[in-house]
């Protein structure tokens, strides 16, 4: 018994990936653009035998942007505390304040997240966390960069020094936006 050899023609194989002119990269798929995405896939599959597809949850950015935000909140809270900003130790149900303490990085995070990302009708703010929690929706990458740009302007107006690493996700996204 002899093995049958299969002959292949150029029709049997797709173009190599380096010849691919149209690529679908970082496509954020929603119900609204599902038909458009399907057309792109069909067009790409006419030129290629197979595709490798990876999926992930919506792009909420990486932790480097959240860590940078926390660094900024630390810098901002130090400036505000040095300027005399204080928080009450305790607020009674009737609204009376008892004692005061210095404004800290957690106060800054709560204040500026609510200010720059906004709150819903129930007063719940968006979250910087990757997963939604405590009835808060996670902010997407666009909302995060917008909040950071607003805080950068806020800090600049008040002389607060913010660190922006050259190789950070925030700097990369700002440069992409400027192009």
Mean pLDDT, rounded, for 114-132: 80
The residue-averaged pLDDT of 38-64 equals 71
Instruction: Sort residue 118 into left (φ over 0), alpha (ψ -120 to 50) or beta.
Output: left
Q: Is 144 left (phi over 0), alpha (psi -120 to 50) or beta?
A: alpha
Ranges of each domain in the chain:
1-55, 63-178
pTM of the model: 0.61
Residue 16: the pLDDT is 43
Q: What is the pLDDT of residues 55-93, one digit of tens each?
A: 655 555 555 788 899 999 999 999 999 999 999 888 899
Say yes or no to pLDDT of 169 above 90: no
In the chain, alpha helices (H): 34-47, 63-82, 105-117, 141-158, 169-178
**Residue 94 or 35, more confident:** 94
pLDDT of residue 151: 95
| Contacts of residue 157, Cβ cutoff 8 Å, sequence gap at least 6 | none
- 42 or 30, higher pLDDT: 42
Is a pLDDT exceeding 50 seen at residue 6? Answer: no
Examine the pLDDT at 159 and tell me if it is beyond 80: yes
116 contacts 150 by C-beta, under 8 angstroms: yes
Average pLDDT of 143-158? 93
Distance CA 110, CA 125 (A): 9
- What is the C-alpha to C-alpha distance for residues 124 and 70, in angstroms, rounded to an integer? 19
Residues 6+ apart with CB under 8 A from 95: none
């Amino acid at each position: 018994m002899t093995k049958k050899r299969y002959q292949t023609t150029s029709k049997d194989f797709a173009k190599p990936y380096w010849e691919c002119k149209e690529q679908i990269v970082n496509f954020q798929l929603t119900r609204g653009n599902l038909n458009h995405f399907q057309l792109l896939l069909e067009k790409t599959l006419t030129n290629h035998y197979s595709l490798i597809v990876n999926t992930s949850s919506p792009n909420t950015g990486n932790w480097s942007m959240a860590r940078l935000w926390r660094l900024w909140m630390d810098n901002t809270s130090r400036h505000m505390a040095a300027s005399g900003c204080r928080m009450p130790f305790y607020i009674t149900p009737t609204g009376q304040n008892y004692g005061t303490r210095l404004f800290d990085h957690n106060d800054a995070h709560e204040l500026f997240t609510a200010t720059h990302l906004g709150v819903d009708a129930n007063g719940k703010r968006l979250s910087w966390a990757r997963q939604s929690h405590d009835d808060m929706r996670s902010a997407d990458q666009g909302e995060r960069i917008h909040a950071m740009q607003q805080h950068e302007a806020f800090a600049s107006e008040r002389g607060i020094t913010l660190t922006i690493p050259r190789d950070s996700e925030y700097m990369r996204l700002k440069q992409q936006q400027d192009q």
